[in-house]
Amino acid sequence: MVWLFTFLIIAFICALVVSFWALTAQASQNAKTLIRLKIADVEKQLQKNQENLYEIRKELDESGIAKAKAVAKMIQLNPALIGNLEEMQKIRDMLLVDEIHIVDRRGILIFGSVPEYFNYDMASDPQSASFLAAIRDPDFALAQDPLPKGINKEIFQYVGVARLDEPGIVQIGYRPEKLARALEIADIRNLAPGFRIGSSGNILILDQNVVIVSSADDRLLGLPSTTLLDAATAQAVKEQMEKEPEGYFTAAANGEKRLFGYKKSGAYYIVGQLPTQEMYLSRDSGTALLVIFNILLFGVIFFVIARLVQSIVINGIYRVNNSLEKITRGNLNEVVSVRTNKEFASLSNGINTTVNALKDAINEASSRIDTELAFAKAIQHSALPSTFPAFPDRKDFDIYAQMYTAKEVGGDFYDFFLVDSDHLAVVIADVSGKGIPASLFMMISKSIIKTYALSGLSVSDILYKSNIALCENNQEDMFVTAFMGILNTRTGVMRYVNAGHNPPLVRKDNGLYEWLPVKQEFVLAGLPNVRYTEQEITFGPRDTLFLYTDGVTEAMNRVEQLYSPKRLIRVLNQFPVSLGLERTIVGIKEDVDHFAEGTEQADDITMLMLRYDQNEEISHKENPGNPAKEDFI
Name the class of domain 54-182: alpha beta
User: What is the distance between the alpha carbons of residues 599 and 551, in angstroms, rounded to a whole number?
Assistant: 13
pLDDT at residue number 627? 40
Distances (CA, A) of 459 to 55, 532, 542, 596, 621: 30, 9, 24, 36, 22
pLDDT tens digit sequence for 145-191: 877 654 445 678 899 999 999 999 999 998 877 566 656 555 677 77
| Residue ranges per structural domain of the chain | 54-182, 310-361, 394-616
pLDDT value for 631: 41
Alpha-carbon distance of 548 to 522, in angstroms, equals 18
- Strands, E assignment, 421-578: 423-431, 480-488, 493-499, 505-507, 513-515, 535-538, 543-548
Average pLDDT, the chain: 84
pLDDT at 52: 77
Q: What is the DSSP letter of 544?
A: E
Distances (CA, A) of 378 to 126, 229, 372, 407, 451: 66, 72, 10, 13, 22
> Which residues touch 24 (CB under 8 Å, ≥6 apart)?
280, 283
Strand partners, 269: 206, 264
CA distances from 416 to 56, 391, 396, 398 (A): 37, 10, 15, 11
CB-based burial of residue 370 (10 Å sphere; 0-12 exposed, 13-18 middle, 19+ buried)? exposed
CA-to-CA distance for 416 and 423, rounded, in angstroms? 11
Mean pLDDT by 10 residues, the chain (633 residues): 73 78 82 86 81 82 93 94 92 92 95 92 91 94 76 74 95 77 63 81 83 82 76 77 85 82 84 83 74 77 64 73 83 79 80 83 72 62 85 94 79 93 96 81 93 95 95 89 96 96 91 94 93 96 95 94 96 93 96 93 92 63 38 37
Q: What is the CA angle 211-216-222, rounded to 5?
A: 25
pLDDT of residue 4: 65
**CATH classification number, 394-616, choose in 3.60.40.10, 3.30.70.340, 3.40.1180.10, 2.60.40.60:** 3.60.40.10
pTM above 0.85, yes or no: no
Which of these, 497, 373, 369, 526, lies nearest to 425 by C-alpha position?
A: 497
pLDDT at residue number 181: 63
Peptide bond into 565 cis (omega under 30): no
Question: Which pLDDT tens digit goes with each residue over 348-365?
Answer: 788 888 888 887 888 777
Paired with 401 in beta bridges are: 608
Strand-pair category, 543-548 with 605-612:
antiparallel
